[in-house]
Amino acid sequence: MLSPELAAKLIDGKGIARTLTDQIGREVQSFMDEGNAVPGLAVVLVGNDPASEVYVKNKAIQTHRAGMRSFMNMMPQSTTQNELLDLIAQLNANPQIHGILVQLPLPPQIDPAIVTNAIAPHKDVDGLGEVNAGRLALGIDGIVPCTPLGCLMLLQSVHEDMTGKHAVVIGASNLVGKPMAQLLLNKNCTVSVAHIHTRDTKALAREGDILVVATGKSGLVRGDWIKPGATVIDVGITRVPVGDGKTRLVGDVVFDEALPVAGRITPVPGGVGPMTIACLLHNTLQAARYARHIQKGNPSS
């Protein structure tokens, strides 16, 4: 058990996600009360990865709880790229479906970039296609990737204004690191991004008033990497063995070392993870609103 002093440092991603999901549920009902269709989310899973199957089922449960429709599309591991693209074309054309999410990773015979860009931009609820990525880079309204958006909301729960803060992002992936850096830039932070070729990541990390870690390498960031009082967002989640056939989930940050140093920190689990699904619901409702504008002949909205 944590002392009250240390427990107060935790950023409650689970609680914030619950509040956001409840708000989305109310907005969905208002949206439908205005005569609009029930927002629909199509999730595509290729293959039988157990972790992905659990994650996809959880997304479906949360979608229904928010008052939306969920369309599950399960495809075998042997699915070809053209077969997947044919399905996406059908989902793009289906007016009942407002958001499309293709669960990653995909089998090696399928290029994820080609698949992502085949999704209609206004249905790209993962926000990973070139159009939405470009809109984010330009500071134009679009659909923002779910995990970075969730991280930003967690930061905003403890920082009313991030102007001028030095934000360090460790990890430069297209999924998290790059869009996270752009979101922080758009909030007037001074942003540094560490990647595999960064010469002294530890020294750079210690400069961050805000530290976002998204590498997928468990235990990378130790306590002495963190500037005292910094806000730490740990995106990583890895299942590691603890003996007797048991496992536990850990992040990219060594939590027990970071907790006494950080000002605020997200736990793993219970931090970024719940926010990712909540933001998927947020993006699906946003996509349904885009569809309404398109139907009214205003596609640029």
pLDDT one-digit tens code per residue, 41-51: 999 999 988 77
Segment among 3-17, 66-80, 285-299 with least mean pLDDT: 285-299
Does the residue 182 lie in any domain? yes
Residue with tokens 């540094």: 192
Q: In this predicted model, what pLDDT tens digit does every residue of 129-185 receive, in sequence order?
A: 999 999 999 999 999 999 999 999 999 999 999 999 999 999 999 999 999 999 999
Residue of higher predicted confidence among 1 and 37: 37
**Of 59, 165, 187, 227, which residue is the catalytic one?**
59
Looking at the fold, whether 208 and 109 belong to one and the same domain comes out as no
pLDDT over 70 (residue 105): yes
pLDDT (0 to 100) of residue 301: 43
pLDDT over 60 (residue 208): yes
Cβ atoms within 10 Å, residue 299: 11
Burial class (CB in 10 A: 0-12, 13-18, 19+), 118: buried
Looking at the fold, whether 99 and 153 belong to one and the same domain comes out as no
Looking at the fold, whether 159 and 254 belong to one and the same domain comes out as yes
Provide the pLDDT confidence category of residue 91 given band limits of 50, 70 and 90.
very high
**Of 62, 103, 182, 286, which residue is the catalytic one?**
103
**Of 126, 209, 234, 252, which residue is the catalytic one?**
126
**Residue ranges at the known binding site:** 171-173, 196, 237
Q: Residue 212 in contact with residue 242, Cβ under 8 Å?
A: no
Identify the sign of the CA torsion 196, 198, 199, 201: negative
Question: Six-digit token pair at 217?
Answer: 């390498």
pLDDT over 80 (residue 125): yes
Provide the pLDDT confidence category of residue 273 given band limits of 50, 70 and 90.
very high
CATH of residue 105: 3.40.50.10860
Looking at the fold, whether 153 and 97 belong to one and the same domain comes out as no
**Residue ranges at the known binding site for NADP(+):** 171-173, 196, 237
pLDDT over 60 (residue 261): yes
Is-catalytic flag, 123? no
pLDDT (0 to 100) of residue 299: 55
Looking at the fold, whether 154 and 112 belong to one and the same domain comes out as no
Looking at the fold, whether 165 and 251 belong to one and the same domain comes out as yes
If you average pLDDT over residues 41-64, what whole number do you get? 90
pLDDT (0 to 100) of residue 298: 63
Return the axis-axis angle of helices 130-138 and 177-186, rounded to nearest 10°: 30
Does the residue 5 lie in any domain? no
Looking at the fold, whether 90 and 163 belong to one and the same domain comes out as no
Does the residue 93 lie in any domain? yes
Does the residue 107 lie in any domain? yes
Looking at the fold, whether 175 and 118 belong to one and the same domain comes out as no
Looking at the fold, whether 174 and 101 belong to one and the same domain comes out as no
Q: Which domain holds residue 195?
A: 146-273
Total domains, the chain = 2
Does the residue 281 lie in any domain? no
pLDDT (0 to 100) of residue 48: 86
Average pLDDT, the chain: 95
Is-catalytic flag, 200? no
Segment among 25-39, 102-116, 236-250 with least mean pLDDT: 236-250
Domain boundary among 59, 90, 122: 122
Q: Residue 235 in contact with residue 147, Cβ under 8 Å?
A: yes
CATH of residue 227: 3.40.50.720
Identify the sign of the CA torsion 95, 99, 105, 109: positive
Looking at the fold, whether 166 and 47 belong to one and the same domain comes out as no
If you average pLDDT over residues 109-117, what whole number do you get? 97
Is-catalytic flag, 256? no
DSSP helix/strand/coil, 181? helix
Nearest to 195 by CA among 214, 219, 208: 214
Q: What percent of the chain has pLDDT over 70?
A: 98
Looking at the fold, whether 95 and 157 belong to one and the same domain comes out as no
